[in-house]
Amino acid sequence: MRNKALLLIPAVAALTACRQDMHDQPKFKGLQVSGLWTNGQAVRPLVEGTIARGRLRQDPHKFAGKTGDVFAATLPAGYKADKAFLLHGQRRYNIYCTPCHGMAGYGDGMVVSRGFKAPPSYHIDRLRNQPVGYFFDVMTNGYGVMVSYASRIPVDDRWAIAAYIRALQLSQNATLADVSEADRAKMAGGRN
C-alpha cells in the first residue's frame, strides 16, 4: 500500500504542474524573420508621427533646467512668477522641502533636529548666486545626500518650488534699495 502511495505522488505532481501556455504562446520577437509580411520582418514600422506617451522631453529648459549646457537663469516659457505660482510653490515647498530645509530655507528642518546631516542654507552666497535652473536640476537629479524627487514631484511643481526658493532668498536678503520709490513712500507714510 505504501509503495502505491509513493507512486501516486509523482503522478499527481505531474498533473498539477504549472502550465506554460502563456509563456509558450505563438508570437513574433523583434528581429525575427516572418513569412507573414512581404518584407520578411516580424516587427512593423511605427506609424509616421508616433510619439511615445510621457517620454517626449524636447525642451531642455523645461525638463532639465538648462539652456545649452548651463543652468537656466529664467523660468521656462509658459511659467510666470506671479502670486498664484509662488503660493503654489510655497505649498509644495512646505510639503516636500521643509523637513530638511526648514520653513525659511536655512537648512534647519525637523530631520536635522533628529540627527541627520543639515543641508546647506539657501542664503549662503554659493546658492544665492545659482540660477533658478540649478534648483530645478537638484530636485530632478538629487545632489549629495538629497535624492531625486523627479518621481515624486511633477515638472510644473518643481518649477514652482524653484521660483519659491528664489523668492525666499530675495526675502531674506532684501535691502531698502530693492524697494521701489513708490513703495518706500508708502512705508514712510505708514509710520505715523
Which pLDDT score, from 0 to 100, does residue 43 have?
80
Q: Name the pTM for this structure.
A: 0.69
Per-residue model confidence as pLDDT tens digits over 27-56 = 777 778 888 778 888 887 778 888 777 667
Structure-model confidence comparison of residues 90 and 55, the more confident one: 90
Per-residue model confidence as pLDDT tens digits over 127-173 = 999 999 999 999 999 999 999 999 999 999 999 999 999 999 999 88
Residue 105's pLDDT band, with cuts at 50, 70 and 90, is: very high
Burial of 35 (0-12, 13-18, 19+ CB in 10 A): exposed
For the cut 80, the answer to whether the pLDDT of residue 184 exceeds it is yes
**With respect to CATH, is domain 60-178 assigned 1.10.760.10?**
yes
Site of grid cell 521660483 = 163
User: Cα 191 from chain centroid?
Assistant: 46
Burial of 141 (0-12, 13-18, 19+ CB in 10 A): middle
Whole-number Å distance between alpha carbons of 59 and 23: 41
